[in-house]
Amino acid sequence: MPSRFLTLADVTEVLNISAPQAYALVRSGELPAIQIGGRMQWRVESTELEKYIQRMYEETRARISSDGTAAHGAGDD
């Protein structure tokens, strides 16, 4: 059974981002998360991560269609 909650390390792996970037996403509220335990460690529900990814796809599509830019702009890998 897949885990319901992910650590920030899991989030960094899924999104291929740095730990500070993942931390910034949850601290800003852009990626909903909870803090648990005595050390108040962040946990992200797997469904919330999927919602975040879908939201980013939608925002990217909207931005591309509104400004007419190509999907692979300067600086993309």
Q: What is the pLDDT of residues 4-30, one digit of tens each?
A: 999 999 999 999 999 999 999 999 999
Query: What does the pLDDT look like over 26-63, one tens digit per residue?
Result: 999 999 999 999 999 999 999 999 999 999 999 999 99
Q: Where are the alpha helices (DSSP H) in 1-77?
A: 8-15, 19-28, 46-67
Mean pLDDT, all residues of the chain: 90
Token pair belonging to 70: 């190509």
Give the single-character DSSP code of 76.
-
Amino acid, res. 35: Q
Token pair belonging to 37: 């335990």
Please state, in angstroms and rounded to a whole number, the distance separating the CA atoms of residues 18 and 16.
Answer: 7
